[in-house]
Structure 1
Amino acid sequence: MTLAADQAAPAGSVAAPARTRWQAWALAGICVAAAVLYAWRIGAGQLGNTYYSAAVKSMTDSFTNFLFGSFDPYGVFTVDKPPMSLWPQALSVLVFGFHGWALLLPQVIEGVVAVFLLHRTVRHWAGENVALLAALILTLTPITVAINRDNNPDTLLVLLLIAAAYAFTRSVKTDTSRARTRWLLWCAFFVGCGFVTKMMQAWIIVPGFALAYLAGTRAPVKRRIFDLLGAAVVLFVSSFWWAALHDWWPGSKPYMGGSTDGTAWNLIFGYNGFGRIFGGEGGFGAGGGGARPDLPEGMSLPSGTGGGMFGGGDTGLGRMFGQSVGGQISWLLPLSLFVLVVVAVQCVRTKGPGDPASRAGWFAWGGWLLVTGLVFSYAQGIWHPYYTTMLAPAIAAISAAGLARFWRAYRGDGAVSWLLLPAAVALTAVWAFVLAGRDPSWHGWTRWAVLVAGVVTVAALLGARLAETRRLVVSRVALVFGVVTVLLVPAVWSTATATAATGGNLGVMPAAGPAGGGFGGGFGGGFGGMRPGGFAGGMPQVPGGTGGFPGGTSGFPGGTGRAGGGFGGMDGKLTEEQRRVLDYARQHKGNAEITLAVDGSATMTAGFIIGSDETVIGMGGFMGSDDSPSVDQLQQWTAEGKLKFVLGNGSGGGMPGMNGGAGQQRRQWIAQHCTEVDPAAYGGQAQQQTGPTGAQTLYECHA
């Protein structure tokens, strides 16, 4: 078998080719491989991103918590995303109980379904064998393996966008006007569901799909425009229904985490919208190193941290290939771009593919890749390397279809075009050699293996072509070796990530590859539950701080603090001292509904929610800077006897530079209305000031 088996149904053919028995078994094998990679040892104790894990547990306490994605069981504030990705996890927890594998099982299922659905989508566009290769590429993409073993929203987002691509492909392939419109509306609906999963990021694919529909359907131009207008209506409704429900909910509801006024609309267009693209106050500052106004006096980020505190390198066209991001997604990115350039040139020379469905497919997948890649490359707000899993379906589809196209050119009579296949293999092998060589301690042998495989493959392809008598068997064997060359190092990285000794516990910032993958090295391991390594070029420098942040012995504030450190609980576990604090609050709270309020970032609170069944609330949202609960709310709770104990922080909690405004007001309120509990009362340690942030302290509050 070779990719030539699809010659009867080239890219964009109207009818999907018949499938043989071995192809059906091959698809089943790829899906099984995906399931193994995504599910391997997910029950080894990891809880994924504890920010979302705590929310999932809280969401099982009440309907409104479930509906709006409340972070805490008391329904004070939501996570800073819509809750669609958390709903399957909450349902799984309701059925199986709160365990790591129950949290991650929906992610595994969604990842495998995405692989299967990508196959079905590409099959309709480019044939069965190309679809199998695309599914295999997606399965073995390192960052996709990492994210599907975690509970971040990106897994469901990718699945929904692939579903949109499937509906779009069915739309442009049909000759029936009504069916074409119906499938396009389904496409818009799935993108809208993606919006309810991760907001405006889902809309990135819309320009490419809209252009593809205009260029790739047989309908009259007027009908195409009306279809797109109808799809825009469906997209708007399916995108904003949840935001409208939250903001217009008549009863009690959680504050919208990450917003400045408690509304979902503010979050959509602020912190999670334009703030992510342009930075500034909505996005934790714009990219680059040096001093920043949103950070404490004297603190600066090194060059290479890019946009946002946990950025993936400097903004620009090189970001997707850089130290932080390259090993996550870019293995086949040069190949995909090469394919798009070749297809564009050939289309100009031949006035484009004759089949509109083929044209639509290239526009759709090409637009997905290029627009997403550019947005990610130039995003100046908070941006994480694991977002690049959204590029994986487009890279898989384009690379697979491109290799099939190059194989047909290789076997054709072109004087030069037959060189495209050897060139593609050589390009991919060289780039894999470069990526694997960035950290030779992490399976460094693969760089030499891929180099040798690439040389052998290219030599065989050239030899078979230049021989007086063409040897089809040799060329087919060389093609198989070419596919192996293309996927060798990503497959090793993916397998090693899934089978790591830690059980693939990727925590807050999932990443594939060596320690520091996705960050560029130098983090210092201070983020509990997160892979070591982090800021490219080292940690930010802060006067008086160890590990880069003030007062943190492990890289973050309060590392030796009284109640276990400022970021205790980020791995979902409470320290012994934190548990003593919680036990003391539970025993002495009286009739208070809230056992303990934790002043600081949500990651400080997550361990208390996960590690107990007490009603523990956070203060300030994810960053510790949201106005929830407000000072008035704290005063009311205290007066009504609903709140008695607060676990405060010397800086008011939250991340450095994010504690002004509401955080400062809460800190002042605690100082005025609460008294410090003697550590001896709960068996705690004496006060240990650890720098500008101080240590966590238990307070008893009075009306």
Structure 2
Amino acid sequence: MSTTVTPPNQTADQTEVREPAKAAPAAPGKPKDTPARTRRTGRASRLLLGNQPRWIRPSAAALLAFTAVLYLWNLEATGYANSFYAAAIQAGTKDWTALLFGSLDAGNAITVDKPPAALWIPALVGRVFGFSPLSMLVPQALMGVAAVGLLYLTVKRISGPAAGLLAGGVLALTPVAALMFRFNNPDALLTLCLVLAAYLTTRAIEKAGWRWLAAAGAVIGLAFLTKMLQGFLIVPGLALAYLWAAPTGLGRRLLHLLAAAGGIVLVAGSYIALFQLTPASARPYMAGSETNSFLELTFGYNGLGRITGSEGGMGGGMPGGGGGMGGNVGFGGTAGITRMFGASFGGEVSWLLPSALIVLGAGLWFTRREARTSRTRAALVLWGAWLLVTAGILSFMSGTVHPYYAVALAPAIAALVGIGAVELWRGRAYWPARITLAATVLAGSVWSAVLLGRDAAWLPWIRVAAVILGVLAAAALLLRLDSLRVVPARFRRMATATVVAVSLLAGGLGSTAWTFATAAQPHSGSIPTSGPTASAMGGPGGQGGRTGFAGPGTSGPGTSGSGLADGAGLAPDGSGLAPNGSIDGGTVSGGAMGPDGASTANSQLTALLKASTAKWSGIVSGASQAASLELATDTSVIALGGWNGGDPYPTLAQFQEMVANGEIGYFISGGGMGGGGGRGGNSEVATWVAANFEAQTVGNSTVYKLTT
């Protein structure tokens, strides 16, 4: 693989600025340019175009504008997306404590089972503009635009603007990226933080700048506060690239890495200390933990438990855990080296994964004799380690894993494709580079056809076109069509453009079509998947959609035994809310009813909770049901037992104290995830309520009035 040779003190993305030619005399009748006017024009030109070819900045602006349109178009159709996070964002718009700690309700009973950073920006926007689906989702989409822009800038510094544009385009047109940047899960902010950390590390490597590296560490700390240990998966790649290639001595490189570690500790550690040192009575309970501990959540349910399945991977102590769901595509499919190519993850992110692996291996081989400080090889190490470590963990973890986690792979795949394709193109006069480039394009087109074939009824002509284009592009690259003697010199530029265009179409047609199909559909629920159908899973027992998951919920004391299938009050798409914002498609307890009956029952329950003046209008087992009720009523509802009803909060004694203080309006029988027993023992709460309060039927729901 070739690298661009540049003069000292000039980076690969800089272009030589030549002395401007002497201006020609002004034409008769035309005003003569004055020196001041020329200077003003020159400053404006430099501001708009920079000291580089005129096409670069307009092309970058077009990339960002295209990404913005793709991620913002018809965004309001998504509604509240994942009602679990939507309710927490709504709570953050009402109460600063809820915002700081990520509480699911404005009364600060219990948090979501994640750190709160991903909730902060949309909640702050909601405070300014009012809470709504758009105030929540537009920041997510803009994070996607920012991630694409940062990836462009990062790759441009290594292999030039063409590589940056290609990398940014690949990221923007990755299906799982379009899915997550149009959704309200934490993965949007996580991905942005990871790309920003890679950019800062790339800047640090250029001149051994410890400040850049410390800033990268601080951003990794923010990634940790977004999705805990998943934010650390890129750290080996960043550290290895800097340790290998930074232009300074080994001792200084090690000290600089300590500065990066200090940045991580400063940001992540400060929040952990704040949470742990805040009295439990002054903050919500930490969901997903047994001891109300942020650290337990970090290293248990959301940490090693996710990898080993030892924490009941379904979350919060649900029996069976991730292992019980391992063969289901909504939960990652079967663990193993082929998981990223399988039915669960394949259509989300693997479209160009074979191509990325080819250019990674070839690039490391072609740069094996370059100087230690080679930026191209450092970039390959950074993005390659990011890809291999993240893909390896996702492939072999036996706890809870969902297909959309693969969005963390998208920047690495895009960067490797951008750097590798452009460097191989520059070296195409060299046979090994030409063969590798042809294999890269052909692999991308063939694998795209395989993925499209898994949904054979959807636009079958695309996979045929992808293969044909791949074969044509590979042949043109091998034969060097752009430089054949039989091609007249005046047509060679056109031939070059044709080869480039066909190669791009061959590798990107399939993923682009799937991405557009993803963006055209509103997605909702807790496990969204990409593609041409609005598929999602609201949790166990939820809607199957493309995931192929359906099944009974988990029954337990104090629940209907129906899980989400009939007890969550979810909309038919698993979102938890119907498009008009009301609870629909299910009931709080008992079997599902027809549309009219369900609508009547839920409207009565909604009206009842809205009329409550208690601190919490109600309490119900499971966070999905509580979130749906909060969004429908604009009141605070306690999620008894957290996400799945298994967290030990509130205990019977705590609940009795709340009732005695008149803080809870109604106990609603049944619940979302239905984990009534679990480790939280909320069956004791249900039993005590049934023994001491009179049941009443509200529509199709059984409720107990707890206040006098």
Normalising to structure 1: TM-score of the pair? 0.85
Please give the per-residue CA displacement for 1:338-397, whole angstroms capped at 9, x wherever unaligned.
Answer: 1111123334xx434554333321111111111001011111111111011111111111
Q: How does 1:192-207 map to 2 (within 5 A)?
A: 192-207=221-236
Equivalent of 1:459, from 472, 475, 490?
475
Checking the alignment, whether the CA contact within 8 Å between 1:544 and 1:551 is kept in structure 2 is yes
Checking the alignment, whether the CA contact within 8 Å between 1:566 and 1:653 is kept in structure 2 is no
Give the aligned partner of residue 383 of structure 1.
401
Give the aligned partner of residue 705 of structure 2.
700
Give the aligned partner of residue 689 of structure 1.
none
How big is the shift at 1:702?
7.1
Q: Matches of 2:539 and 2:278 in 1, distance apart? A: 44
Give the aligned partner of residue 324 of structure 1.
344
How big is the shift at 1:558?
2.9
Checking the alignment, whether the CA contact within 8 Å between 2:582 and 2:632 is kept in structure 1 is yes
Checking the alignment, whether the CA contact within 8 Å between 1:16 and 1:128 is kept in structure 2 is yes
Q: How does 1:500-579 map to 2 (within 5 A)?
A: 500=521, 504-515=522-533, 527=542, 532-535=545-548, 539-540=550-551, 551=562, 556-558=565-567, 569=577, 573-575=582-584, 576=599, 577-579=601-603
Q: Matches of 1:565 and 1:584 in 2, distance apart? A: 25
Q: Matches of 1:90 and 1:543 in 2, distance apart? A: 32
Q: How does 1:645-656 map to 2 (within 5 A)?
A: 645-649=666-670, 654-655=673-674
2:355 matches 1:335: yes
2:387 matches 1:369: yes
Checking the alignment, whether the CA contact within 8 Å between 2:81 and 2:525 is kept in structure 1 is yes
The one-letter code matched in structure 2 to 1:573 is: S
Change (3 A) 1:470 1:218: farther
2:194 matches 1:161: yes
Give the aligned partner of residue 667 of structure 1.
686
Change (3 A) 1:212 1:161: same
The one-letter code matched in structure 2 to 1:252 is: A
Give the aligned partner of residue 693 of structure 1.
none
Q: How does 1:34-53 map to 2 (within 5 A)?
A: 34-44=67-77, 46-53=79-86
Q: Matches of 1:658 and 1:580 in 2, distance apart? A: 28
The one-letter code matched in structure 1 to 2:341 is: F
Change (3 A) 1:360 1:13: farther
Q: Which runs of 5+ in 2 are unaligned?
A: 16-51, 585-598
The one-letter code matched in structure 2 to 1:464 is: R
Give the aligned partner of residue 450 of structure 1.
466
Aligned to 1:648, what secondary structure does the other structure show? strand
2:257 matches 1:239: no
2:656 matches 1:638: no
Deviates more, 1:354-363 or 1:491-500: 354-363
Q: Matches of 2:540 and 2:470 in 1, distance apart? A: 36
Give the aligned partner of residue 211 of structure 1.
240
Larger RCO (alpha carbons 8 Å, 6+ apart): 1
Give the aligned partner of residue 205 of structure 2.
172
Checking the alignment, whether the CA contact within 8 Å between 1:123 and 1:131 is kept in structure 2 is yes
Give the aligned partner of residue 16 of structure 1.
13
How big is the shift at 1:240?
2.2
Change (3 A) 1:509 1:498: same
Checking the alignment, whether the CA contact within 8 Å between 1:353 and 1:359 is kept in structure 2 is no
Q: Matches of 1:526 and 1:333 in 2, distance apart? A: 32
Change (3 A) 1:421 1:353: farther
Q: How does 1:213-362 map to 2 (within 5 A)?
A: 213-250=242-279, 252-284=282-314, 294-295=319-320, 304-305=327-328, 310-347=330-367, 350-352=368-370, 355-362=373-380
Checking the alignment, whether the CA contact within 8 Å between 2:554 and 2:562 is kept in structure 1 is no
Q: Matches of 1:317 and 1:325 in 2, distance apart? A: 12
Aligned to 2:703, what secondary structure does the other structure show? strand
2:415 matches 1:397: yes
Checking the alignment, whether the CA contact within 8 Å between 2:609 and 2:635 is kept in structure 1 is no
How big is the shift at 1:399?
0.6
Please give the per-residue CA displacement for 1:96-134, whole angstroms capped at 9, x wherever unaligned.
Answer: 212111110100111101111111111112211111111
Q: Matches of 1:114 and 1:84 in 2, distance apart? A: 17
Q: Matches of 2:57 and 2:540 in 1, distance apart? A: 45
Larger radius of gyration: 2
Aligned to 1:167, what secondary structure does the other structure show? helix
Checking the alignment, whether the CA contact within 8 Å between 2:627 and 2:637 is kept in structure 1 is no
Aligned to 2:109, what secondary structure does the other structure show? coil
Change (3 A) 1:641 1:138: same
Checking the alignment, whether the CA contact within 8 Å between 1:13 and 1:126 is kept in structure 2 is no
2:456 matches 1:440: yes
Give the aligned partner of residue 691 of structure 1.
none
Please give the per-residue CA displacement for 1:431-462, whole angstroms capped at 9, x wherever unaligned.
Answer: 01100111022232210111121122123223
How big is the shift at 1:323?
0.7
Q: Matches of 1:56 and 1:653 in 2, distance apart? A: 19
Checking the alignment, whether the CA contact within 8 Å between 1:527 and 1:556 is kept in structure 2 is yes
Deviates more, 1:142-151 or 1:638-647: 638-647
How big is the shift at 1:425?
1.0
Q: Matches of 1:435 and 1:36 in 2, distance apart? A: 26
Give the aligned partner of residue 692 of structure 1.
none
Q: Matches of 1:586 and 1:666 in 2, distance apart? A: 23
Change (3 A) 1:391 1:544: closer
How big is the shift at 1:665?
2.7
Aligned to 2:77, what secondary structure does the other structure show? coil
Normalising to structure 2: TM-score of the pair? 0.84
Between the aligned residues of both structures, percent identity stands at 34
Aligned to 2:582, what secondary structure does the other structure show? coil
Please give the per-residue CA displacement for 1:209-265, whole angstroms capped at 9, x wherever unaligned.
Answer: 111111011111111111112221221221222122112114611001111111111
Please give the per-residue CA displacement for 1:384-438, whole angstroms capped at 9, x wherever unaligned.
Answer: 110111111111110111111221232x2x3443211111111111101100111
Size of the alignment, in residue pairs?
A: 646
The one-letter code matched in structure 1 to 2:691 is: Q
CA RMSD of aligned residues (A): 3.4
How big is the shift at 1:16?
2.7
